Amino acid sequence: MTGTAKATVHVDNERVIVTEYRFAPGANTGWHRHGHDYVVVPLMDGKVKLVTKDGESFAEMKQGAPYFRREGVEHDVINANDGEYAFIEIELK
């Protein structure tokens, strides 16, 4: 990924990759394809803009409310808030 969000890998072993993403307003992950099933756990309430091959949409994120996605998702994730936004991503190997 070549975006402007700050990614900090906390765990990378034979079973999982746990990464914390911190976004300044307007920061993004950069276009990427998920190579593993994954779970995202928002660290705060907020909104992200999702850019996919099919267009743009917005997702409301709730602190502590995880969601699951399958391998193969392709998108760019952009902070759509006026302040910093952050979440933890857990990739299942």
List domains and CATH numbers for the chain.
4-90 (2.60.120.10)
Contact yes or no for 78/21 (Cβ under 8 A): no
Prediction pTM value: 0.94
3-state class of 24 per DSSP? coil
Q: Compute the C-alpha angle 85/87/93, nearest 5°.
A: 155
Q: How confident is the model at residue 1 (pLDDT cuts 50, 70, 90)?
A: low
State pLDDT tens for residues 25-79: 999 999 999 999 999 999 999 999 999 999 999 999 999 999 999 999 999 999 9
State pLDDT tens for residues 2-23: 799 999 999 999 999 999 999 9
